[in-house]
């Protein structure tokens, strides 16, 4: 998850309501990030998104190489 996105989530979860961003602030931040992505701007948020995409892609690729034993059976211990 991009660090800036995680930081926004943490701010929204602040125990003190007066420290949480108001909806207008959140909308402005999300609109800014969306515009940065659409315009392919070289900002910190876009860099973090691209890095997260690379990590996700490598995880998906790694999982696609996992083989399973077709003869294996799985049982539930309950």
**What pLDDT does 55 receive?**
86
**What pLDDT does 18 receive?**
96
Sequential pLDDT tens for the chain (78 residues): 889 999 999 999 999 999 999 999 999 999 999 999 999 899 999 999 989 888 888 877 677 666 666 776 767 776
pTM: 0.67
**What pLDDT does 75 receive?**
72
Q: Which two tokens stand for residue 66?
A: 């996992």
CB 33 within 8 A of CB 19: no
Cα–Cα dist 78/73, whole Å: 16
Cα–Cα dist 30/27, whole Å: 5
């Amino acid at each position: 998850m991009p660090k800036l996105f995680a930081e926004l989530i943490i701010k929204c979860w602040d125990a003190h309501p007066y420290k949480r961003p108001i909806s207008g602030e959140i909308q402005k931040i999300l609109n800014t990030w969306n515009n940065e992505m659409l315009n392919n701007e070289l900002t910190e948020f876009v860099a973090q998104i691209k890095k997260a995409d690379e990590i996700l892609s490598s995880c998906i690729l790694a999982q696609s190489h996992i083989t399973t034993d077709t003869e294996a059976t799985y049982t539930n211990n309950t």
